[in-house]
Amino acid sequence: MDQLMLRYEGKNFYEIPDGEITRMEGFKTLSENATPEEYSRKYVDRKSQTNDVVGYTTVLDFELDRFVGNAVHDDIVDLHEKKVVGVAARRNIYYVDFTQPSGDGYKAFMVPCSVVMSNKGNTAEAMTYSGSFKEAGETVFGIAKIATPANGNCDTVQTITFEESAESDI
Amino acid sequence: MDNKFEAVMDFISQSGHAGKDTYLNYVTNETNDDNTAVLTSGAGKVITSYVDGACLINLPFEIRQIKPHSKDSNVYSNSDAMEEVQSFMDWINEQGKARNFPDFGEGCTIQSMATPKTAKTPNLIGLTESEDAAIYVFPIEIIFLERK
């Protein structure tokens, strides 16, 4: 029987500069939007238009509840508070599909992104931050392995390692 | 510690405010027992679900303390008793601010521990049968992240 893939079975990870590739916790929203770039033209010998997709721009919009002591949040908040710009505001975001085992890991990809912050403190309860991770480089496909905890699984995973692999396109 | 209720009981019993004994979900009305009851007050509720499968859960408790009670006029023993419970309440909030929490085990991280915003002082809910002791109560809320 076809089985529904649940959102938590595809997890995102964040590469902390000089640190580990760490699970992104406390994110209420982390949705990926792909904006296609198209090439449309009309040939004189045809009645209808011809369209080709020639590229995509990927944007992940996010909203997080700030957790004190969370290394991913610490880095994102630092980028926001210091209004970091340019290459210094780029981070690698990973997506791991835990429904697709491959060897002793899982199919995954990494997208270099610019962290674009937009809002802070939108609620009266928790401190929230929101913004977007906007694609800033080529997507790299590979295999992710659970680094911590030892014998971890999709539920308990905290950090991963990532190895590029041409055969792992997902 | 994976047993959250045991963790809260241990935390309360080691507070220095709980008296001789700490009970979970049992209230004794023996005045001279000098004890504290930790009562679960309703089910833990998911207040936020995150995209990675983790949940933020609010686990409410009620703390009950029995203190000697006087029917005499112009004495301050009842106010002293009230103040003792208030200082316990304040201690809970201080621990929350200092991020000194009970240990809920590897899969859980406590995010906050405090009395609710609307509860600033303990509530006297009645007297024991012998009427020589009063029952004070105050609520606490523990909000924790449970990973999935």
**Residue-by-residue DSSP string for B58-70:** EEEEEEEEEEE--
Rounded Cα gap, residues B148 and B135, in angstroms = 40
What mean pLDDT do residues A40-55 have? 96
**Helix H or strand E encompassing A71:** helix A71-81
Reply yes or no on whether the pLDDT at A139 is more than 80: yes
Residue A71 banded pLDDT, cuts 50, 70, 90: very high
Residue B45 banded pLDDT, cuts 50, 70, 90: very high
Reply yes or no on whether the pLDDT at A123 is more than 90: no
> According to the model, what pLDDT value does residue A169 have?
57
Give the DSSP letter of residue B125: E
Looking at the complex, report in whole angstroms how far the Cα of residue B52 sits from the nearest Cα belonging to chain A. 4
> According to the model, what pLDDT value does residue B33 have?
57
Which residue in A112, A131, A110, A109 sits closest to A120, CA to CA? Answer: A131
What mean pLDDT do residues A57-66 have? 96
Which residue in B119, B101, B121 sits closest to B111, CA to CA? Answer: B101
Under an 8 A CB cutoff, do A67 and B54 touch? no
- Of the candidates B50, B53, B106, the beta carbon closest to that of A26 is on B50
Reply yes or no on whether the pLDDT at A168 is more than 60: no
| Residue where the block lists tokens 């303990």 | B122
For A80, the token pair is 């926001």
Distances (CA, A) of B3 to A31, B61, B82, B104: 35, 15, 31, 7
Residue B11 banded pLDDT, cuts 50, 70, 90: very high
Taking CA atoms, what residue in B is nearest to A6?
A: B53
**Helix H or strand E encompassing B113:** strand B108-114
Specify which residues B60 forms β-bridges with: B141
Q: Is B105 on the interface with A (CB under 8 A)?
A: no
Among A8-22, A36-50, A154-168, B86-100, where is mean pLDDT lowest?
A154-168
Rounded Cα gap, residues B62 and A52, in angstroms = 64
> Which ranges constitute the DSSP H helices of chain B?
4-13, 77-97
| Cα A61 to the center of its chain, rounded Å | 10
Q: Is B51 on the interface with A (CB under 8 A)?
A: yes
In chain A, residues with a C-beta closer than 8 Å to the C-beta of B148 are 8, 155
Reply yes or no on whether the pLDDT at A17 is more than 80: yes
In chain A, residues with a C-beta closer than 8 Å to the C-beta of B50 are 25-28, 65
Specify which residues B117 forms β-bridges with: none
> According to the model, what pLDDT value does residue B128 have?
82
| Cα A110 to the center of its chain, rounded Å | 7
> According to the model, what pLDDT value does residue A82 have?
96
Partner A, chain B 85-104, Cβ-Cβ below 8 Å: 99
Q: How many CB atoms lie within 10 A of CB B27?
A: 16
Give the DSSP letter of residue A68: T
Q: Higher-confidence residue: B140 or B117?
A: B140
Which residue in B115, B106, B107, B105 sits closest to B142, CA to CA? Answer: B115
Which residue in B55, B57, B30, B53 sits closest to B43, CA to CA? Answer: B57
Q: Which of B48, B49, B52, B99 to probe the A interface (max A CBs under 10 A)?
A: B52
Which residue in A78, A93, A84, A75 sits closest to A133, CA to CA? Answer: A93
Are B51 and A61 in contact, with CB atoms under 8 Å apart?
no
Strands (E), A66-135: 90-102, 105-120, 128-135
Under an 8 A CB cutoff, do B53 and A24 touch? no
Q: Which of A60, A130, A155, A160 to probe the B interface (max B CBs under 10 A)?
A: A155
Specify which residues B62 forms β-bridges with: B39, B139
ipTM of this predicted structure: 0.82
Q: Is B55 on the interface with A (CB under 8 A)?
A: no
